Structure 1
Amino acid sequence: MNAWMMLALAIVAEVIGTTALKASEGFTRLAPSLIVVVGYAVAFYCLSLVLKSIPVGVTYAIWSGLGIVLITVVAFLVYGQRIDLAGLIGMGLIIAGVVVLNVFSKTAVH
């Protein structure tokens, strides 16, 4: 599996772990708590493999930026949490930053 696919897997695992974190109710519910631990373990394992071939700054920018956007979408769908216009604009800027980093930066590995 290439580094970009591994990064995507790390992002998805982190979003799953974060979604379960809310459901764990402060780690008082066993099943969601186990999902949190497994989700984050998979995320960080995948992230450690990604760092062998993609610079840490680029990796972290993509992982955290896309994770923020995805967890916001999941929070809307699963928990009914709303986001206002400022939040949407902010997430648009995050996505734009990730695109700029990958398209224009000489740091990114393609």
Structure 2
Amino acid sequence: MDLQDQLKNLFPDHIQEGTDTETTNESNLWLQDDPIICKYEKRKGKPITILEGYTGANEDFKILAKELKTALSVGGSFKGDKIIIQGNYRDKIMKILQDKGFNVKRVGG
């Protein structure tokens, strides 16, 4: 009897992480036909990346903002139907969004 079997005996109701019962957030996001616009700006001399044009619910856009900030390990915010990410991460953001199934359009520079 190994450690996993002992733990199952002690905690029979526990669901092990990484099983098929776990759902991901990306399946809950609403995908759209119009592309999300990804642009680069400088505010007060500091580079930022702005995402706009999402037509789904604001809560879904907030979830997407959190996922992007976590994946890139950067700061950012969600204001007025826009995601603002600190730094110039257009290429990485576009790759992440395309992997999730979004259409992304690069604007500026």
Output the TM-score relative to the length of structure 1.
0.27
Larger strand fraction of residues? 2
Larger helix fraction of residues? 1
Which protein has the larger Cα radius of gyration, Structure 1 or Structure 2? Answer: 2
